[in-house]
Structures are given as C-alpha cells and as structure tokens.
Structure 1
Amino acid sequence: MAIYQFTQQQKIPVALDTIWAFISNPENLKEITPPHMGFKIIGGTGQGKIYQGMIIRYIVKPLLGIPLQWVTEITHMKECEYFVDEQRAGPYKLWHHQHKIEAIAGGVLMTDIVSYIPPFGFIGRIANSVLIKKQLQQIFEFRTKAINEKFGPWQD
C-alpha cells in the first residue's frame, strides 16, 4: 500500500495572526478552492473557527461533476502555528493534511503537507499518476493565486 505525499509552500506578506484568522475559519475554504470542484460546507463549522475535535462535512465534486460527501476532523491544533485535518469519510483510504505557518522576515511561510492513499488499490495507484497528483497541484496553484489576490504577492 503506497502512501503519497504532496507538499506546497507559499510566502505571504502578512502578519501571522492575519493569515491564521483566515485559514482557521472553515468558511474561507470555498474562497481558495477552484469553483469547478463545487465545494460546499454542509455541516460542522459552528463558530467559524476551528478547534481540535471539530468535524466538518463537505460536498465536493472532484471528478466529472459527481458530488461526494467528505468528512474531516481537526485532530491537532496549536493556535497561530498549525492544524491537521484528517478524513473520517470520503474518497481516500487515508487523507492527512498538515497546515503549518511560521513567521519569517516580511511575512509568513505557509506549508501544506498532504499525505494520502487513493482508494481501489492498484487502480488507485494508476489514478494517482494520471489524475490525483495533477489535480492536487492544480488545486494548490489555484489556492496560491487566490491567497496572492487576497493578501498580495510576495516580493523577493
């Protein structure tokens, strides 16, 4: 059983608490998810700020517009440093997404590490090489652009 990992980093020219307020509010996920994914939260956002143990339910259309229900739990969290969401029900055998932020000169370095196992064994491994890995890259490219539009691009 192969476990795949996708890592993305982005520098953002804002204060740590500003980006934390944005990424720790599940309602903002739609803003940084490509529209063709049909992302919709259907339960669990509560007070608009994540907490350890929070369960969030979504509808997402990752392939051919077919809606899937996805349930994640915030399993770990440290304010203004990181949180982890793990799939409890959904399309993957395993989905573990670490969201980390750290202050750097001029702003924040945000790091996402997604560890996952596609469903369907051998077919899932093929799907990962042909589709899933590319789709993750496209989702995070969209997110990078959306965050740049909202907070401004990083100036080297």
Structure 2
Amino acid sequence: MATIILKTLINAPIENCFDLARSIDLHLQSMKASGEKAIAGKKSGLINLHESVTWRAKHFGIPFEMTNKISTMEYPIRFVDEMVKGPFKKLHHQHHFKIIDSQTEMTDVFEFEAPFGLLGRLVEKIFLTNYMSKLIEKRNKAIKFQAEW
C-alpha cells in the first residue's frame, strides 16, 4: 500500500479551507483535464458525513468510475473519504486542518493500494504514486487559490 502525505499552507480561515476541500464543484473545476464528472450521489455543493459521490474520469486514456463516501467528519478539523467502489483495491483519504499562526495548514494523508497483487505494487512504485501526488497537488492549488482570492 502506498501513502502520500502533502501539506499546504493557506492564508484563509480554517472553515473556508475545510469547506472548499469538500466542495464537489471546486473538485470538478480542478480536475477538468481528466474530464471528471460527478454522475451519482452528491453531484454539487458540499459533501457531508455519510454522503457519497460517484466520479467518472479518464486517466491514462482509460475511463474509470469510482464511488467515495465521507466516513468521518469533525468540522472544521478533519474529514475522511473512502472508496466504496472503483479501480483501487483500497483508497482512504484523510483531510486534516489546523491553524498555524494566521494560516491554515491542510494536510492530506492519501493511502491507496492498486489491484493485481505484485504487479499492482510495482505499478504503484513506478508511476502511480507520482501521478496521484500530482493530482492531489493540483486540487490543493485550486483550493488555495480559491481560499486566498
């Protein structure tokens, strides 16, 4: 299983950052390059505890669908989304928020496991971890831009 930890400092109140991180609309805007769409469940607005969203996107030229559910939420310091159906063997994404001086530190702890055993682990190491890191960084830049605007 691979783990990605990313920290982003944002010059905005913690509540704004928390809400932007769970905004379906901002997520869609930040993932336009992969043609991502929300096709079922919560399709716009702010996703809340026990709600789910099904995404459809194209990565590596292959169409994927994935359903994620918010399994934990402690406003405005933490929420967790987990894949309940999709291309990974496991996907668990923790979003943590804390105030540092006058900024909000947003920390992503993104754990995932590719299917297909040894081959999947090899794919994780060779390129999937880097690819997923870049997607999360792109999303975080959109959150930061919107929060600081």
TM-score, normalised with respect to structure 2? 0.90
Are residues 1:45 and 2:42 paired?
yes
8 Å contact from structure 1 (residues 54, 73) kept in 2: yes
Identical positions, percent? 25
1:105 equivalent in structure 2:
101
Match of 1:11, as an amino acid?
L
Are residues 1:136 and 2:124 paired?
no
Cα displacement (A) at 1:133 = 0.8
8 Å contact from structure 2 (residues 20, 147) kept in 1: no
Match of 2:11, as an amino acid?
P
String of CA shifts for 1:100-136, please: whole Å, max 9, x gaps. 1111112100000011111111111111122211101
Q: 2:50 and 2:56 mapped to 1: Cα distance?
A: 20
Would the alpha carbon gap of residues 150 and 49 (structure 1) be closer, same or farther in structure 2, given more than 3 Å must change? closer
8 Å contact from structure 1 (residues 77, 83) kept in 2: yes
Cα displacement (A) at 1:50 = 2.1
Any idea what SS the aligned residue of 1:53 has?
coil
Cα displacement (A) at 1:71 = 0.4
Q: 1:71 aligns with which of 67, 74, 77?
A: 67
Unaligned runs of 5+ in 1: none
Q: 2:24 and 2:67 mapped to 1: Cα distance?
A: 13
Match of 2:49, as an amino acid?
Q
TM-score, normalised with respect to structure 1? 0.87
Q: 1:48 and 1:141 mapped to 2: Cα distance?
A: 21
Cα displacement (A) at 1:54 = 0.7
Aligned length: 149
Q: CA RMSD in A?
A: 1.8
Would the alpha carbon gap of residues 145 and 53 (structure 1) be closer, same or farther in structure 2, given more than 3 Å must change? closer
| 1:7-156 → structure 2 map (5 Å cutoff) | 7-33=5-31, 35-45=32-42, 48-64=45-61, 66-152=62-148
8 Å contact from structure 1 (residues 27, 45) kept in 2: no
Match of 1:21, as an amino acid?
D
Q: 1:86 and 1:69 mapped to 2: Cα distance?
A: 14
List structure 1 runs of 4+ shifted beyond 3 angstroms: none
Unaligned runs of 5+ in 2: none
8 Å contact from structure 2 (residues 26, 142) kept in 1: no
